[in-house]
Structure 1
Amino acid sequence: MADLIKNYMSISSSLLLLLITSIFLLQTLLSRRARRERLPPSPLRLPIIGHLHLLGPILHQTFHKLSTNYGPLIHIYVGSVPCVIASSVDMAKEFLKTHELSFSSRPVSAAVHYLSFGSADFFFASYGPYWKFMKKVSMSQLLGGRTLEQLQHVRREEIHQFLRTLLLKSNDGKDRVNVHAELIRLTNNVITRLTMNRRCSELDNDAEQIRELVEEVVELTGKFNLSDFIWLCKYLDLQGIRKRFEVARAKYDTMIEKIIKEHEEDKKKWMRGGEAAKDVLHNLLDLSGDNDNDNDATAIKLSREHIKAFILDLLIAGTHTSAITVEWALAQLINNGHVLEKAREEIDEIIGKKRIVEESDIPKLPYLQAIVKETLRLHPAGPVVIRESDEDCTVGGYHIPAKTRLFVNVWAIGRDPQHWEKPLEFNPDRFIDDRLSKVDVRGQHFHFLPFGSGRRGCTGTTLALQVVQTTLATLIQCFDFKIMGDDTNAKVDMKEGEGVTLPRAHPLNFTPVPRIHLLPILN
């Protein structure tokens, strides 16, 4: 028995030694290759998993820690997928402007590929004819100024309904409200009405159906899937994710097919007796059957799958990002009472208390706009811009191979002390200052990239700003916010949660206390 144990320990020691030697040799070979190709600096890489052992649950925070040790441009392997992380203004400009064409594609995960009907998705489409056509029609017809102006009444009605809900739930200041849930409901209703002319509560008489679906899809598309990154697991579903997105797509397909058929019936009625106001889905159906497109060399014939994928893009992108931005702004205002008071003074002076802030009032409220900018600087809804290289190129003197995944850490750049004075302080006044007053959110200034930059910057920026700024302004105007009873010194926890859209670790809850007579105005 003793000899058996002795032999077992000897074999185990030999295997351990072999494993350590293999890792050392592999690391040596990889280091030589990196020096030969002049790849960016990189931490120690392990076989199979690459640098997965270094990544925490909140990616932008992990990337920031790595960049403080290895520099503004580093090279890592997430499993077997090569990646570069850019964490400075200069590197962001190199990738997103100087070498923009080389990084104009987005990587597609298994969940995204399946949920977006294969290659039908616009948001993740490769940079080519289909993407260019959809970008063009999105900016001119689907999400352009004229369409958004025609549907302005939708946003106003939903914000007023949101205010009514808070007023009812305030119950003389006794009940705490889950503001996160109410904001998600608001933005969901705005997007579903803009896209399908439906409120969530009207979809199959089930108010939770579309919200639950969006929540599920957001989780699935942002969840780390071993099959996407480790080649040994490519055809395995170890986490059960594939089964979940199959169920989610079937659910979405049933719902959207029903709504498309109803829109097609609308079109037949309009052909017989005049047109009513069109939503985004009506416009997409028009594009899919537009004979005029046959004479346009750049036009793409839209399939049913293209339409379904585009609507899903809008539901996902338009719901969570806007709601979370308003939630972060409210949390910062509660913790910075002097900023909240200054914003109220501006609104009371310009708007008064006898009517509710409208979208058309926002240009007259520069401090309100500064609050939104400062919120987006500290809490960008897309904390990491993700791209993929289409070709080999040289950036910052380093070789970047084709099919390398790019992560631009927008969150870290917005907190860079080289470009922001007291970067961790919530100070909207910085955007009133002459030096920063002209800094725009649309990606022209590379130290401030809340909506990305360039060709693949966010298509829905205008809509997002309209919803965020007007919603926040009405909340500031209409309510006081009580966190813990009568404790005026209570602070909101500002910890970040896991997810691709920078959620809060703990949903915001407060008691809304009306500060103006809302009922006569809302009725």
Structure 2
Amino acid sequence: MALNIILLWELTMAVLFFFINYLFTRCLIRKLSTRRLPPGPRGWPIIGAIPVLGAMPHATLAKMAKKYGPVMYLKMGTCNMVVASTPDAARAFLKTLDLNFSNRPPNAGATHLAYNAQDMVFADYGPRWKLLRKLSNLHMLGGKALEDWAHVRVTELGHMLRAMGEASRKGEPVVVPEMLTYAMANMIGQIILSRRVFVTKGSESNEFKDMVVELMTSAGLFNVGDFIPSVAWMDLQGIERGMKKLHRRFDVLLTKMLEDHMATAHERKGKPDFLDVLMANQENLDGEKLSFTNIKALLLVCLTLPMGIVLVQYILGTLVHSFDWKLPKDVELNMDEVFGLALQKAVPLSAMVHPRLEPNAYLA
């Protein structure tokens, strides 16, 4: 009897808590509605518009933009979100009003994948972020840096073209995302570490490719705990558990890279790479320190989010110029997507390539 009373009491308190939380959220929404907010869809109680977005949020948001306009307001759990869906609207947030929106809200990806927001993407605006950005632009992403590393791009694209030419001679299809991943990873590896990350295609390179795809996918998932912090500890979708496991794998890889790099520092005297520059700035003239965690977090960004925007036209032009392309026999083009930070294809593109140039153009 006493046990039944206790259970009834706990159930009553749980229902009462949910009801109070619901009323509080409704009052908050009504208060917000009196402000000048952009138009947007009505969300569900407590969870807001989270279930409305579905499995492909980018497609849903594109449809919403046609109805509500280029700037929309969404209630996501207990968080308020504004979506900019045109170049002009995005420019207003990311350039004109950049200082107002420079800090990133806390989320599971920043915590578990980016070393607790220690990288350049998720770090708060401040002296350390400015130092990371300055070093990255000066030695890797700036115009002069890209010019200095032009020979690396030429060399690695040469390796990729030769591998594709070899596949053509054997009559084998080329898995395009794999080839691009190897080439881009080796370009970044040469710039950051003064060495190719993958000398040949094999289990190590395949594992790295799978890790990158997993990171891009998991970091782009809508994690309920990010929008309703009170339930984050339950990890309802299991997303954070997967992130922690993936982070441990990346940390082993990055730690080994740092150790190997420090052991060969004497070989690069007079010709430092990007990692040498970072190590030299562990304590700069302004007193701002870079820890090993900061450096590993930045390396993770560099290795998994390479200079795709900068190189896309160069790589695409080279591939179109060098080969004729067609699908393998009895294979149809599959444009289905897997949502993430970058939209991976559900079925990686596989193609038969036929050289357009003289045979010696594909030789070492």
Match of 1:408 in 2: none
- Residue 362 (structure 1) aligns with: none
User: What pairs up with 1:339-354 in 2 under 5 angstroms?
Assistant: none
Find the counterpart in structure 2 of residue 511 from structure 1. Answer: 352
- Seen in structure 2, the aligned counterparts of structure 1 residues 120 and 35 have a Cα distance that, compared at 3 Å, is closer
The letter for the 2-side match of 1:514 is: P
CA separation of 1:242 and 1:29: change in aligned 2, threshold 3 A: closer
The answer as to 2:194 corresponding to 1:192 is: no
What is the CA distance between 1:128 and its match in structure 2? 1.6
After superposition, give the CA deviation of every residue in 1:409-452 in whole Å (9 maximum; x if it has no partner): xxxxxxxxxxxxxxxxxxxxxxxxxxxxxxxxxxxxxxxxxxxx
Contact kept? 1:23, 1:46, Cα under 8 Å = no
**In the aligned structure 1, how far is the partner of 2:316 from the partner of 2:38?**
42
Structure 2 gap ranges (5+):
1-15
The change in CA–CA distance for 1:32 and 1:218 in structure 2 (over 3 A counts) is closer
Question: Who is 1:318 aligned against?
Answer: 306
Q: Which residue of 1 aligns with 2:10?
A: none
In structure 2, the partner of 1:125 is 123
Q: 3-state DSSP class of the match of 1:510? A: strand
For the 8 Å contact 1:188–1:315, the answer to whether it is kept is yes
Q: Do the aligned partners of 1:191 and 1:314 also contact (CA within 8 Å) in 2?
A: yes
Against the structure 1 CA distance between its residues 170 and 133, is the aligned structure 2 distance closer, same or farther, given a 3 Å change threshold?
Answer: same
Cα pair 1:200 1:208 within 8 Å, conserved: no
Percent of matched pairs sharing the same residue? 33
Specify which structure has the bigger relative contact order, considering alpha-carbon pairs within 8 angstroms and separated by 6 or more residues: 1
Corresponding residue SS for 1:49: coil
Query: Are 1:169 and 1:177, in contact at CA under 8 Å, matched by a contact in 2?
Result: yes
What is the match of residue 98 of structure 2? 100
* Residues 453-482 of structure 1: per-residue CA shift (max 9 Å, x gap): xxxxxxxxxxx42x3233222212221112
Q: TM-score, normalised by structure 2?
A: 0.83
Shift in CA distance, 235/510, structure 1 to aligned 2, threshold 3 Å: same
Matches within 5 A, 1:455-466: 464-465=309-310
Residues 220, 339 of structure 2: 8 Å contact kept: no
- Aligned counterparts of 1:94 and 1:132: Cα–Cα separation in 2: 21
Number of aligned residue pairs: 346
Aligned residues of 1:58 and 1:499 also touching (Cα < 8 A): no
Compared with structure 1, are the counterparts of its residues 208 and 198 closer, same or farther at alpha carbon in structure 2 (3 Å cutoff)?
A: farther
Question: 1:61 matched to which residue of 2?
Answer: 59
**Paired residues of 2:161 and 2:362 also in contact (CA < 8 A):** no
* Equivalent in the alignment of 1:301: 289
CA contact (8 A) 1:194 1:279 kept: yes
> Equivalent residue of 2:340, what SS?
coil
Matching residue's letter, 2:291 = S
Seen in structure 2, the aligned counterparts of structure 1 residues 72 and 520 have a Cα distance that, compared at 3 Å, is closer
Q: Is the 8 A contact 1:45 1:77 kept in 2?
A: yes
Matched, 1:480 2:321: no
TM-score for both structures, normalised by structure 1: 0.60
Match for residue 45 of structure 1? 43
Distance of aligned partners of 1:148 and 1:38 in 2 relative to their CA distance in 1, 3 Å threshold: closer
1:168-218 CA distance string (max 9 Å, x none): 11136x433221222122212222222223333359983334323322322
Secondary structure, counterpart of 1:211 in structure 2: helix
The CA deviation string for residues 374-398 of structure 1, in whole angstroms up to 9 with x for no partner, is xxxxxxxxxxxxxxxxxxxxxxxxx
Q: For residue 272 of structure 2, what is the aligned residue in structure 1?
A: 278
Q: Does 1:163 align with 2:4?
A: no
Residues 306, 23 of structure 1: CA spacing in aligned structure 2 closer, same or farther, 3 A cutoff?
closer
Matched residues in 2 for 1:145 and 1:128: separation?
A: 24
Aligned CA distance change for structure 1 residues 180 and 142 (closer, same or farther; 3 Å): closer
Distance (Å, rounded) in 2 between the aligned partners of 1:205 and 1:512 = 24
Letter matched to residue 224 of structure 2: L
Letter in 1 for 2:298: F
Mapping of 1:127-166 within 5 angstroms?
A: 127-166=125-164
The two structures, once aligned, show a CA RMSD in angstroms of 3.1
What is the aligned counterpart of 2:208 among 207, 210, 226?
Answer: 210
User: Is the CA contact 2:25–2:46 (under 8 Å) kept in the aligned structure 1?
Assistant: no
- The 1-side partners of 2:91 and 2:255 are apart by 42
Match for 1:196: what amino acid?
Answer: L
**CA distance, structure 2, for counterparts of residue 27 and residue 483 of structure 1:** 53
Q: 1:521 to 1:218 in 2, by over 3 A?
A: closer
